[in-house]
Structure 1
Amino acid sequence: MLEEIPSGGDVRPVMLDSADLKGNSGSIKLTGNGKEETIYQVVIENGPSYLVINDASSVNIEIDLAKRDNEYKVSGSAATSELKGFIQKYVDRSDVVNKVFAEIDSIKQLGGTDSSLIDATNRKNQSIAALNDFITTSINGSKSAAVSLFALGMSSRSFQKNEFEIMLGKVLEKFPNHQALGQLKKMYDQQQAQQSDLGRRPGSDAWVGKQVPDMTMPDMNGKPVSISSFRGKFVLIDFWASWCGPCRAENPAVVTAYNQFKDRNFTILGVSLDKEKSEWLKAVGDDKLMWTQISDLAYWQSKSVEIFKFDGIPFNLLVDPQGKVIAESLRGEALQAKLKEVLP
């Protein structure tokens, strides 16, 4: 089937056309009418999907159905070829970053030397800089609005706020009439306005020193769970969602922290902003999140947003055994360092 991928990463793909293909050979034609350059995916039943951009009236892709892997050949679409190349190079560079993070975790857990930790930290910074340079170069050199939009989405995992704003501005100057890019700018501006209205921004420690509010939601089995039931333990309240790319990218670091400190009067309470229970449960399993998970499956209308007044995820609060918030917005190494500092 042919599906359009909406610009909002939390929105389900929209099916445009479908066809039956019997056996592992033959050809089919799928048709869709796009108002502007957009990313689509060709989905094989019980198989992988393949990304395509409509920068031409006709785009041909060649798939080996016998292999059912992610490889495919493209003709007639320069933007699709560019997107394929970007994704592969992004994955390669991102893998380097992830491996260095894993190395740093290993050094800390095994008590490695200071010099080895310093060396690994330097390589981590270099690998992140190389990843960001690659994204910047790719966006600056792209002639495709759809590829630029995709790359902007990936940049949110590693760009600083000012870096993202500068790059978004450049892309909008290059493609001023692209509706999805305009919508991205509108959503971003609304988010910044909400942060201003709340009188806080991520990492401003607005909750630190305050008693954590109580809140009750169903767990994965439908059983009500309250924050107050964790009194007596250090608990990290982790707000996330299956559709949130940065959340999923951060989850390996959270899993590492949980495994390292779970025997020191510490646990985690995951609070999901998902809409679909099946997607929530799948993400919990895929990311190996072994701690308690709760959700009212209400997306941004979740009562957790109203109570805790956050406007972006991932977001978390570290609460002491007496129910007082002692830190917020802890990510990566900062989470590890804080837990080492406060746990008995």
Structure 2
Amino acid sequence: MKKIYLLLAITIISISCNQSPKSYHISGQVTDTELNGKIVYLSRISGEELVNVDSVMVEEGNFEFKGIQDIPAVYYLRFNDNINIYTSFILENAELVAVLGSESSVKGSNLNNRLQSFIKKNETFDEEMKALEKIYFEKVADSTLTEDIEIRLSNKYDSINELFIEHIQNFILSNLDNVSGAFVLVRYQNLFEDKQLENIISKSETAFQNEIGVKQIAERLRRIASVAEGKMFADMNLRLPNGTPGKLSDYAGKGKFTIVDFWASWCGPCRVALPELIDIYNEYKNKGVDVVGVSLDIDSTEWVNAIENLHIPWVQLSDLKGWDAEATKVYGVNSIPHLMLINPDGSIAAKGMNEKELRIKLQELLK
């Protein structure tokens, strides 16, 4: 009988030890005494906005949150917009320990510990690359930068950057079954080609795919599939600099090759690339090639001034909605400059090229 009771007790203990927590408890601490009396917000992204889910005041350097989060998700601990102290983490039912300060973190669960290790390693890469940048600019400042030193610094920088990207890729591929991998993919999505993103998402599991940011990537990929190379271009209702309505179809698909330049007046790389695009325009404008600029500007005056000051000779269109522009929704443009080439019949010849690739493509098509 004693053996039966003993076995029963062991079974009960085993069951209780294996049960997952049914709620979360965040024990928080701040490293700056001036944060006492400030409000800490527990927030998450909803649509395009960061929404506060809960809040609590810091008292004697401490704060805590309690609640239930049945499905792990990405959340943020932060103060108001005037205090630039925050951290992202995975909220799940567990005992979590948070620190907010010059080095913020949340630990205590498997997913968060894994994510914090990833972030810490990334910081190492970042420090190494910043150190090389510092050496470079110091040598530029004191005129001691030789071609040999520049090449060695550049090669070292590229080597570290490759390891950095490999680290990101490995983490994502090792976490295709949970939200931590999804969080990292969303944060570093611009490091991947669209086909790579499609492949990663297709291999991932439900917990990964259900993260809001991943859903947004998947939706963007679905949209741009309809305007892939070989498909007919999609029209956009925009406006000319003088405010009158204008459509992409007013210029594209009219018997000429049409280069569509997605840009903005505030975009430094766009300005750097512009002279070469103007050279291409001047070389091919009498050979059946035209250019249409589609701006992601918000301010009409800045847009018009840039067109005039930069002496851009081709027609310009915009809806002045910035990253909410129709261009980003219809064509999935998530970085600029971005070039697209439309065939005379309105089909898309190529997308996402730089000026050098565009020139090669035109030479190929105009043989």
> Paired residue for 1:62, among 99, 107, 116?
99
- More off after superposition, 119-128 vs 41-50: 119-128
* Per-residue deviation, 1:214: 8.4
Q: Does 1:180 align with 2:210?
A: yes
Aligned runs of 1:328-343 on 2, under 5 Å?
A: 329-330=351-352, 334-335=354-355
Q: Distance in 2 between matches of 1:162 and 1:327?
A: 18
Q: Distance in 2 between matches of 1:26 and 1:310?
A: 48
Query: Which entry has the higher C-alpha Rg, 1 or 2?
Result: 2
From the superposition, tell whether residues 128 and 330 of structure 1 become closer, same or farther in structure 2 (CA, over 3 Å): farther
Aligned to 1:136: 169
Q: Secondary structure at the match of 2:185?
A: helix
From the superposition, tell whether residues 94 and 153 of structure 1 become closer, same or farther in structure 2 (CA, over 3 Å): farther
From the superposition, tell whether residues 59 and 256 of structure 1 become closer, same or farther in structure 2 (CA, over 3 Å): farther
Q: Secondary structure at the match of 1:15?
A: strand
* Per-residue deviation, 1:314: 3.2
Please list the CA deviations of residues 127-182 of structure 1 after superposition, one character each: whole Å capped at 9, or x if unmatched.
6653442123212434871211012224522223443333323331xxx356625x
From the superposition, tell whether residues 116 and 338 of structure 1 become closer, same or farther in structure 2 (CA, over 3 Å): farther
Aligned to 2:238: 215
Q: Distance in 1 between matches of 2:129 and 2:317?
A: 28
Q: Give me the TM-score of the superposition, normalised by structure 1.
A: 0.54
> Paired residue for 1:254, among 261, 265, 270?
270
Equivalent position amino acid for 1:5 in 2:
R
Aligned to 1:244: none
Q: Distance in 2 between matches of 1:152 and 1:121?
A: 27
Please list the CA deviations of residues 85-143 of structure 1 after superposition, one character each: whole Å capped at 9, or x if unmatched.
3234346557889989xx9xxxxxxxxxx999999998887666534421232124348
Q: Distance in 1 between matches of 2:216 and 2:194?
A: 15
Q: Secondary structure at the match of 2:190?
A: coil
Q: Contact 1:216/1:227 (CA < 8 Å) preserved in 2?
A: yes
* Per-residue deviation, 1:237: 3.5
* Per-residue deviation, 1:42: 0.9
Q: Give the count of matched residue pairs.
A: 271
Aligned to 1:314: 335
Q: Contact 1:16/1:32 (CA < 8 Å) preserved in 2?
A: no
Aligned to 2:78: 43
* Per-residue deviation, 1:235: 9.4
Q: Secondary structure at the match of 1:215?
A: strand
Aligned to 1:30: 65
Q: Secondary structure at the match of 1:237?
A: strand
Q: Contact 2:74/2:91 (CA < 8 Å) preserved in 1?
A: yes
Q: Distance in 1 between matches of 2:218 and 2:104?
A: 38
From the superposition, tell whether residues 238 and 56 of structure 1 become closer, same or farther in structure 2 (CA, over 3 Å): same
Question: Could you say what the CA RMSD is over the residues aligned between the two structures, in angstroms?
Answer: 5.6
Aligned to 1:297: 321
Q: Distance in 1 between matches of 2:351 and 2:126?
A: 22
* Per-residue deviation, 1:5: 2.8
Aligned runs of 1:1-344 on 2, under 5 Å?
A: 1-6=40-45, 11-21=48-58, 25-45=60-80, 46-47=82-83, 48-64=85-101, 69=102, 71-90=103-122, 93=125, 129-142=162-175, 145-172=178-205, 176-177=206-207, 180-181=210-211, 190-198=219-227, 200-201=228-229, 215-216=238-239, 224=243, 237-238=261-262, 253-258=269-274, 271-272=295-296, 295-297=319-321, 302-304=325-327, 309-314=330-335, 316-317=338-339, 329-330=351-352, 334-335=354-355
Aligned to 1:322: none
Q: Secondary structure at the match of 2:261?
A: strand
Structure 2 regions of 5+ residues with no counterpart? 1-39, 137-146, 252-257, 283-290, 304-308, 311-315, 342-347, 363-367
Q: Secondary structure at the match of 2:192?
A: coil
From the superposition, tell whether residues 168 and 123 of structure 1 become closer, same or farther in structure 2 (CA, over 3 Å): farther
From the superposition, tell whether residues 59 and 215 of structure 1 become closer, same or farther in structure 2 (CA, over 3 Å): same
Please list the CA deviations of residues 311-335 of structure 1 after superposition, one character each: whole Å capped at 9, or x if unmatched.
443363479xxxxxx996445xx23
* Per-residue deviation, 1:37: 0.7
* Per-residue deviation, 1:341: 11
From the superposition, tell whether residues 15 and 88 of structure 1 become closer, same or farther in structure 2 (CA, over 3 Å): same
**Structure whose residues are more often strand by fraction:** 2
Q: Distance in 1 between matches of 2:277 and 2:216?
A: 38
From the superposition, tell whether residues 312 and 147 of structure 1 become closer, same or farther in structure 2 (CA, over 3 Å): same
Please list the CA deviations of residues 247-301 of structure 1 after superposition, one character each: whole Å capped at 9, or x if unmatched.
x9xx56435435x66997999966339xxx7xx99xx9xxxxx98995443976x
| Higher RCO (C-alpha 8 Å, min separation 6) | 1
* Per-residue deviation, 1:35: 3.6
Q: Contact 1:4/1:39 (CA < 8 Å) preserved in 2?
A: no
From the superposition, tell whether residues 178 and 15 of structure 1 become closer, same or farther in structure 2 (CA, over 3 Å): same
Q: Contact 1:4/1:40 (CA < 8 Å) preserved in 2?
A: yes
